[in-house]
Amino acid sequence: MALRVTFVAAARSSPLLAERFEDDRPLDTAGWDEVQHVAHELVPLAAAELRYCSPTPRSRATGDALGYAPLVQLALRDCDMGRWRGLTLGEAMAREPDQVDAWLADPRATPHGGESLLGFISRVGGWLDTRPVGDGDRIVAVAEPSVIRAALVYALKAPPSTYWNIDVRPLSTTTVTGRGGRWNLRFDPASAQTSRT
């Protein structure tokens, strides 16, 4: 049986240029407004048999606002950024430019003392591969954009450097179908966005 896992990117908690590593701030006013604006398109995903979310406040709040009542999954947490946690990329670059360059260039590097990009992708992929078959074929997961990027790199068996070329916008949806180790990226027509069940 093939699974259908639809990722919903959490609404924002800050302007894109002010995003911080492992940001655990709640939704800002603009984020709440965006959820209300697109809720009619995303609420039908609540019909999924299994509903999950990242442990961040904005992921949980997004899932709750959409009526998903999602179960928090620690494996869907953001990449552990060690001593860079809470910094923007610009702030980390100003403090440790050589270490940031090393981290961006090598998916195995952990100059921040946290998790490597490769480790992060593998962790998220491991979660994807262990979704229970037989408990329902439709799954929705509200997650941080970084988590969705990692899931896509894993699902497509793409080189880790592909992670930097994927742009996941707040409240966008991305669907993969398949099961353990065999995933396909699925694009639905616009008309199907509001009729998913």
Close Cβ partners of 93 (under 8 Å, ≥ 6 residues apart)? 100
Q: What's the mean per-residue pLDDT of the chain?
A: 90
- Report whether pLDDT(181) > 80: yes
d(CA 122, CA 74): 14
- What is the band of 197 on the pLDDT scale with cuts at 50, 70, 90? very low
d(CA 173, CA 28): 20
**Dihedral sign (CA 157, 120, 139, 37):** negative
d(CA 106, CA 156): 19
Written as six digits, the tokens of 160 are 């880790």
d(CA 69, CA 168): 23
Greater confidence, 195 or 16? 16
Task: Assess contact for 196 and 44: CB atoms under 8 A.
Answer: yes
pLDDT tens for each residue of 38-72: 999 999 999 999 999 999 999 999 999 999 999 99
Q: Residue with structure tokens 């709640």?
A: 26
Task: Assess contact for 7 and 172: CB atoms under 8 A.
Answer: no
- Report whether pLDDT(151) > 90: yes
Question: What is residue 149's three-state secondary structure?
Answer: helix
Burial class of residue 70, CB neighbours in 10 A (0-12, 13-18, 19+): buried
